[in-house]
Structure 1
Amino acid sequence: MQIDLHLKALFEPDTIAVIGATPEPGTTGHAVTANLLASGYKGKIFPVNPKGEEVLGLKACKEVCDIPRFTDLAIICLPPTEALKALEILGDRPVRSAIVTSPGFGETGKEGYMLERRLARIAKASDMAVLGPNCYGMMNTELSMNASLFESFAREGNISFFAHSGAVCCTAVDWANSEFLGFSKFLSLGNKAVLSESRMLRYLASDPGTKVILGYCENLEDGQDFVRIAQDATAKKPFILLRAGETPDGAQAASAHAGALTGAAMAYDAAFRQSGILKAVDIEDMFNMARAFSFQPLPEGPSVAIVTNSGGPGIIAADMCEKGNLSISRPLPESIEKMRSFLPSYASFYNPVDMVGEAGTETYARTMEVVAEDDRFNAIIVILTPAANIHDQINGIADEIIKASRNTRKPVIACLMGRDSVAEARRKLLEAKIPCYEYPETAVRCLDAMYQCHRWQNRECPIDVCFRRDITKARSVVETYTRIGLNELVELDAQNLASAYELPIPETILARTSNQAVKAAKRIGYPVVLKIASPQISRKGELGLIMTGIESPAELRKAFLNITSLAARRCKDAYIHGCLVQAMGPENAQEAVIKFRRDPQFGPVITFSLAGLHADMLGDVSSRLAPLSLNDAQEMIREIKAYPILRGVDSGESADLGAIEDILLMISQMATDLPEIQEAEFNPVIAGPDGAVVANMRMTVG
């Protein structure tokens, strides 16, 4: 509760001290003070400068210690070392929150990083909420408060936005103002020494003035905490995030910019999926989606009515719907009959509803009325192309779109194609809170995101599954390997660890000679698999050191000789124990691969794919963060493109999907329990109609 009060002091201050305010234009302190006054902030402002000069008509304090006790917010506009001294004094007043605009901290290197750590310690010791350093500040339009370096003050609205980059913030507010897009809260996070995205997200999720949350992210310090908070936030409000630094060059640039490392792109994608975050592909996409969420209600289903005066754009929109999560339903028969009464006979009465090029104001009005009343549709996309014969009716059509939107609870998205001829109509629509786009693809993309949000907020509660496991045995295996300095578990040692989690493993026996191999096969039962046994050889299949379907002792002896001699030639430095004799997996089976790797920001990232070209060449891989719920495991299997193969499209028999789900959940439990395991590969997981087994595995311990 105390944190909430301190953030309330940051967002809704009654008193603000500007440390480093000066009467000279062009300085940071002068700009902040001027912006506070220009925005119409009604609270008390206390400028602070050593000379005690008047700043923009406000009487100044000479010392930081002269400001009133329990001031809500201090904005520090001083060089780094002086800023730290001021922060220490503010902590004694005490001041509840602060904004540090000063650059020269973690983004500059080791010396700046040490200063930033000191800033964080001061803030923690004094229990102060600190925004920055190296930030532009913040705006709260509900309070008419521009406590920032932004020259433009944002329009009032229901969107809240945060970003690391001050430049991105400046661009965003300037663009949004020209697009009639309004904000409730607008924040530049800077280096996030104290206040991170997670704490901001928690506050904004409960903020009554915020309907939509936007973010620009380059790195996350505590990814697991962020995912937990995002899951709670997205259950209430849409959260759209643009993440920079996905490519190696971009990640390096982001690290230099923000002074922190970025995580793997796959980990971020998994985090977004599991927390309901809508991922924007670029800045334009982020604000396009924000406009739709800000202006319109969420669709309650996937069915879209497309109303157009041109067939081509309607077809493009329909294609985009089918490629995403939306559907194109046929109107009800009574709706078709109504449209036949006023549309020309050569119009298309189905969906898209193509009114043809001469459709004017009245035609648009009557058609939108029909589809709005049709219960088969959950949303409406209205497309207009500026045909020559309707130029003088474009503004009237915009008025009818506004009326239609106000008379229905369904979301209405407009697409006015062109520029100059539709500029005035587009302005009308945006002012009336109707999202309007230039291209059908953009309109569909935004509506699709809205439906995804509706589906996420109305999803079934995740089912958490905890399997029985021998955690003492598992830790003993890991600790033994760590103690003796070995960092890779293979073959029987890896199986010993896996057995602690009751992973299904085919019976496996180590044979040091061909005679022992024959005895082992007799015990297991033919046919069997033979594979080399060596802690230094993990990629056995790639080296030809595995033989399957061995049916007889003679075949087994020959295979033993071939595999051991081939291993001796190809892996001269490897210590060879002999061969492993293993029971064959299920018949009519498919082979899958399950892996996990520990991401420094998000923890274990689990991946699933079919074996072979599907993952290696085509990148057909699904991913989630551990721990997995049952829903996560089910989705991972079903979202890969090769899923029909698992369902038996080739063989005629479906693999046991429940058995694969169980293996995924067991591996998730292992990854969560044992942080010493840095990465693991279970390859192949052989899944047949009546079960699945893990035939081979390797793990790296560190």
Structure 2
Amino acid sequence: MPDSSLQALFEPRSVAVVGASGSPGKVGHSIVKNLVEAGYQGTIWPVNPKGGAILGLDAVASIAGLPEAPGLAVICIPPALVVGALEELGARGTRAAIVITAGFKEIGREGYALEQALAEVARRHSMALLGPNCLGLCNTTAGLNATFAAGQPAPGSVAFFSQSGALCTAILDWALGENIGFSKFVSLGNKAVLDESDMLRYLSHDPQTRVVLGYVESVEDGQRFVRVAREVTPHKPVIMIKSGTTAAGAKAASSHTGAMAGSEQAYGAAFAQAGVVRVADVASLFNLAQAFSTQPLPQGPNLAIVTNSGGPGIMAADAVERSGLLMAPLSGRTVDALMHALPPFASAYNPVDIIGDAGADRYRAALEHVAADPMVHALLVLLTPTASAQVEETAQAIIDVARGCAKPVFACFMGGRRVGPGRAMLQAAGIPCYAFPEPAIASIEAMYRYREWQARPMPVEVCYRRDKTRAARVIERARGEGCVEIVEFQAQELLGAYELPVPATELARTSDQAARIAARIGFPVVLKIASPQISHKTDVGGVKVGLDSEDAVRAAFLDITSRARRLREQAYITGCLVQAMAPKGSREVIVGFKRDAQFGPLLMFGLGGVYVEVLRDISFRLAPLSLDDAHRMIREIKSYPLLRGVRGEPPVAFKAIEDILLTMSQMAQDFPDIYEAEFNPILVDHQGAVVADVRVTLCSGGG
């Protein structure tokens, strides 16, 4: 969408309200009323077939009767008339439109067709189209309130967009009560043309916007969203809520990866890789909005707490311990200064407890010393309304110290009526003030995590050597045989095409051949059933390990194949794979991917074997993986210390696992025809890693 059309949407020189009404309570009346009361300085043309005057403005009977093409048209007429009205406006040269009207794809097939026609008209005329089925938008800088919401949003540096119009009205009402201001306020509606990616791109260049907030229920083009968000987040924080992430109705999965990699994991990976700060609820959204829009980012994890009560100080310290922050170790110079300034029973160590009889002067002295300590990266001030507390004077002391401090300063005034005036003073001065310590610490942690993400080097993507022609032959052969799954004995060539490390493996068609292969490979060995119809080998007792003689191999071969024929009568039994055993002390990990409808290949990593089923201790990333992504995926799981080595065990060969992750990322991008793939287990020791088992599932219908 051209920037000029988005500029027409947010900064129009004139607005036509198509469907304007003189009847209070109607949508067309509320829109005109909001435009007038917001102080919009451009021309407003109400369009109503009856003509007359609406709120003191002369109404125009039709679009054809407009004296010129309006810069922005706000349309609130019946759905059957909307496409024709948009066509007429586009032909006259209108560059932007907001369709308030509902009754499009949200009602089913008929509405979907109508919305497609609407989008086609907008694209043909290069119009920025917001909606349909939306609340509208506000640009407080331009005095533009093209919504039918009650109340005028206050100016501010926070931009907000939402897919839910109802949530928009609730948040706007809540923000008015909390005195939170907005630079832009946008209801996306059905997103026929403009979506969250367009909003992010526009807001990234908006000088009035310091923080971007968003609520989405779905992202149709996930890969575009990630690209755009990556452009925005290095210089502006983007904080978002995503709802509706269950994978109900998803395709039944044949692998652990498929079972565990759902929509929720894809969105989580997308937000993390794009630098989007994700929150779970609206309260957290606005806690962070206030923090990011008013305070500098902490340059490190060290938090200092100053309190007049030991209990809340301990609560705050516990919350810090559970977070990614650290309790700042105060320097000896700071401790000495605090001991000199505070009463004998006070604590000069972090948390600094200035005790319950502290007045504003004691708070000021303690804060000045703590804020000056170079080991302190952020400051949290707690106040409980003791008999001696000077609430408003203490608030002023905090404001004064914060003005001369380059570090983020947060407050927590615990209580109700008595601390209210102090809270109001702090909020007005741009110092976030909370009722309890935990949300304050969560906000500081989010800011620190964002600062860490900003400081990361640009991702380095790698392209691994592979024989794509050889790999394509494996997939084409499976398709030709009518197979949707490529099981291990068939997938060996696929692994070879990507030069993945595998244990010595050969296919045996008879028990004698299996014994000869085992002797050549070297005992002990593993035997696995080989059948294109059997992917879950353990379900039919199709795996035998630790076979240490030719006789043991022969017996195992006959047992495995006869059992498989009995339990899977329709399966074609090719034979058994004979495979070298893993070196002693190897640990099992799993690497897999599943193709997400919105975001493309979603890769996963965790401990392999039964651990992945029981612990579900998994990390996720979207392809393509960077070197940093692969590095962090391994170290994110809670079981990472087991791979690092415990009780004298050497650490595993992490680079070998990273190579396998990056190779699978390459395979996922090379072949969109692969729906999901899994290497499980990968056997890894201190020297290297081998892929011991593999399963590949193709997209039904050829991709």
Instruction: Quote the Cα distance in structure 2 between the aligned partners of 1:54 and 1:480.
Output: 73
Partner of 1:233: 232
Q: Secondary structure of 1:421's partner?
A: coil
Q: Secondary structure of 2:133's partner?
A: coil
Q: State whether residues 22 and 53 of structure 1, in contact with CA within 8 Å, keep that contact through their aligned partners in structure 2.
A: no
Instruction: Quote the Cα distance in structure 2 between the aligned partners of 1:42 and 1:199.
Output: 26
Q: Secondary structure of 1:678's partner?
A: strand
**Is structure 2 residue 625 aligned with structure 1 residue 628?**
yes
Partner of 1:472: 469
Q: State whether residues 263 and 600 of structure 1, in contact with CA within 8 Å, keep that contact through their aligned partners in structure 2.
A: no
* Closer/same/farther in 2, CA of residues 614 and 319 from structure 1, 3 Å limit: farther
Instruction: Quote the Cα distance in structure 2 between the aligned partners of 1:526 and 1:429.
Output: 74
Q: For residues 194-273 of structure 1, what are the structure 2 equivalents within 5 Å?
A: 194-247=193-246, 264-273=263-272
Instruction: Quote the Cα distance in structure 2 between the aligned partners of 1:11 and 1:542.
Output: 61
Q: For residues 441-520 of structure 1, what are the structure 2 equivalents within 5 Å?
A: 441-520=438-517
**Is structure 2 residue 568 aligned with structure 1 residue 571?**
yes
Residues 132-184 of structure 1: per-residue CA shift (max 9 Å, x gap): 00001000111121111111111110000000111111111111122121110
Q: Quick check: 316-325 or 668-677, which moved more? A: 316-325
How far is the alpha carbon of 1:613 from its aligned partner?
4.6
Instruction: Quote the Cα distance in structure 1 between the aligned partners of 2:377 and 2:45.
Output: 53
Instruction: Quote the Cα distance in structure 1 between the aligned partners of 2:609 and 2:475.
Output: 30
Q: State whether residues 306 and 351 of structure 2, in contact with CA within 8 Å, keep that contact through their aligned partners in structure 1.
A: yes
How far is the alpha carbon of 1:481 from its aligned partner?
2.0
Q: State whether residues 69 and 89 of structure 2, in contact with CA within 8 Å, keep that contact through their aligned partners in structure 1.
A: no
Partner of 2:124: 125
Equivalent AA in structure 2 for residue 228 of structure 1: R
How far is the alpha carbon of 1:508 from its aligned partner?
1.2
Instruction: Quote the Cα distance in structure 2 between the aligned partners of 1:376 and 1:16.
Output: 55
How far is the alpha carbon of 1:357 from its aligned partner?
1.2
Residues 618-659 of structure 1: per-residue CA shift (max 9 Å, x gap): 221100111111111111100000001111115612110000
How far is the alpha carbon of 1:423 from its aligned partner?
0.9
Q: Quick check: 419-428 or 154-163, which moved more? A: 419-428
Q: Secondary structure of 2:406's partner?
A: coil
Q: Secondary structure of 1:98's partner?
A: strand
Instruction: Quote the Cα distance in structure 2 between the aligned partners of 1:548 and 1:249.
Output: 38
Match of 1:654 among 651, 654, 660: 651
* Closer/same/farther in 2, CA of residues 650 and 116 from structure 1, 3 Å limit: farther
**Is structure 2 residue 562 aligned with structure 1 residue 562?**
no
Instruction: Quote the Cα distance in structure 2 between the aligned partners of 1:643 and 1:165.
Output: 40
Q: State whether residues 609 and 680 of structure 2, in contact with CA within 8 Å, keep that contact through their aligned partners in structure 1.
A: no
Instruction: Quote the Cα distance in structure 2 between the aligned partners of 1:524 and 1:53.
Output: 94
Partner of 2:435: 438
Q: Secondary structure of 2:364's partner?
A: helix
**Is structure 2 residue 131 aligned with structure 1 residue 136?**
no
- TM (norm. structure 2) is 0.96
Instruction: Quote the Cα distance in structure 2 between the aligned partners of 1:48 and 1:179.
Output: 36
Q: Secondary structure of 1:682's partner?
A: strand
Q: For residues 312-461 of structure 1, what are the structure 2 equivalents within 5 Å?
A: 312-390=311-389, 393-461=390-458
Instruction: Quote the Cα distance in structure 2 between the aligned partners of 1:68 and 1:122.
Output: 22
- TM (norm. structure 1) is 0.96
How far is the alpha carbon of 1:428 from its aligned partner?
0.9
How far is the alpha carbon of 1:25 from its aligned partner?
1.5
Q: For residues 10-21 of structure 1, what are the structure 2 equivalents within 5 Å?
A: 10-21=9-20
Partner of 2:301: 302
Partner of 1:259: none
Residues 253-294 of structure 1: per-residue CA shift (max 9 Å, x gap): xxxxxxxxx971111111111111111111111111111111
% identity of equivalent residues: 51
Q: State whether residues 596 and 679 of structure 1, in contact with CA within 8 Å, keep that contact through their aligned partners in structure 2.
A: yes
Equivalent AA in structure 2 for residue 680 of structure 1: A
Instruction: Quote the Cα distance in structure 1 between the aligned partners of 2:521 and 2:248.
Output: 53
* Closer/same/farther in 2, CA of residues 64 and 277 from structure 1, 3 Å limit: same
Q: State whether residues 358 and 388 of structure 2, in contact with CA within 8 Å, keep that contact through their aligned partners in structure 1.
A: no
Partner of 2:57: 58
**Is structure 2 residue 641 aligned with structure 1 residue 644?**
yes
Equivalent AA in structure 2 for residue 689 of structure 1: H
How far is the alpha carbon of 1:526 from its aligned partner?
2.1
How far is the alpha carbon of 1:585 from its aligned partner?
2.5
Residues 281-333 of structure 1: per-residue CA shift (max 9 Å, x gap): 11111111111111111111111111111122222222222222211121111
How far is the alpha carbon of 1:389 from its aligned partner?
2.7
Q: Secondary structure of 1:313's partner?
A: helix
Residues 348-379 of structure 1: per-residue CA shift (max 9 Å, x gap): 21111111111110110011101111100111
* Closer/same/farther in 2, CA of residues 248 and 517 from structure 1, 3 Å limit: closer
Equivalent AA in structure 1 for residue 477 of structure 2: T
How far is the alpha carbon of 1:542 from its aligned partner?
4.5
Instruction: Quote the Cα distance in structure 1 between the aligned partners of 2:109 and 2:452.
Output: 46
Partner of 2:254: none
The number of residues matched between the two structures is 689
Partner of 2:256: none
Q: State whether residues 198 and 229 of structure 1, in contact with CA within 8 Å, keep that contact through their aligned partners in structure 2.
A: yes
Q: Secondary structure of 1:345's partner?
A: coil
Q: State whether residues 303 and 328 of structure 2, in contact with CA within 8 Å, keep that contact through their aligned partners in structure 1.
A: yes
Computed over aligned residues only, the root mean square deviation of the Cα atoms, in angstroms, reads: 1.6
Instruction: Quote the Cα distance in structure 2 between the aligned partners of 1:247 and 1:522.
Output: 50
Instruction: Quote the Cα distance in structure 2 between the aligned partners of 1:474 and 1:69.
Output: 61
Q: Secondary structure of 1:213's partner?
A: strand
Q: Secondary structure of 1:104's partner?
A: coil
Q: Quick check: 125-134 or 343-352, which moved more? A: 343-352
Instruction: Quote the Cα distance in structure 2 between the aligned partners of 1:688 and 1:580.
Output: 23
Instruction: Quote the Cα distance in structure 2 between the aligned partners of 1:40 and 1:222.
Output: 37
Partner of 1:94: 93
Equivalent AA in structure 1 for residue 301 of structure 2: P
* Closer/same/farther in 2, CA of residues 680 and 248 from structure 1, 3 Å limit: closer
* Closer/same/farther in 2, CA of residues 248 and 675 from structure 1, 3 Å limit: closer
Partner of 1:255: none
Instruction: Quote the Cα distance in structure 2 between the aligned partners of 1:123 and 1:479.
Output: 42
Instruction: Quote the Cα distance in structure 2 between the aligned partners of 1:565 and 1:574.
Output: 12
Q: For residues 528-547 of structure 1, what are the structure 2 equivalents within 5 Å?
A: 528-547=525-544
Instruction: Quote the Cα distance in structure 2 between the aligned partners of 1:312 and 1:197.
Output: 44
Instruction: Quote the Cα distance in structure 1 between the aligned partners of 2:685 and 2:203.
Output: 48
Residues 384-406 of structure 1: per-residue CA shift (max 9 Å, x gap): 1111232xx11110111111111
- Structure 2's unaligned 5+ residue stretches are 251-260
Q: State whether residues 365 and 400 of structure 1, in contact with CA within 8 Å, keep that contact through their aligned partners in structure 2.
A: yes
Q: State whether residues 219 and 263 of structure 1, in contact with CA within 8 Å, keep that contact through their aligned partners in structure 2.
A: no
Instruction: Quote the Cα distance in structure 1 between the aligned partners of 2:540 and 2:327.
Output: 51
How far is the alpha carbon of 1:569 from its aligned partner?
3.0
How far is the alpha carbon of 1:249 from its aligned partner?
7.7
Q: Quick check: 68-77 or 634-643, which moved more? A: 68-77
How far is the alpha carbon of 1:527 from its aligned partner?
2.2
How far is the alpha carbon of 1:10 from its aligned partner?
0.5
* Closer/same/farther in 2, CA of residues 700 and 247 from structure 1, 3 Å limit: closer
How far is the alpha carbon of 1:484 from its aligned partner?
3.2
Q: Secondary structure of 1:291's partner?
A: helix
Partner of 2:258: none
Q: Secondary structure of 1:287's partner?
A: helix
* Closer/same/farther in 2, CA of residues 516 and 248 from structure 1, 3 Å limit: closer
Partner of 1:684: 681
How far is the alpha carbon of 1:584 from its aligned partner?
2.0
Q: State whether residues 386 and 422 of structure 1, in contact with CA within 8 Å, keep that contact through their aligned partners in structure 2.
A: yes
Q: Secondary structure of 1:605's partner?
A: strand
Match of 1:695 among 688, 692, 700: 692
Q: Secondary structure of 2:58's partner?
A: coil
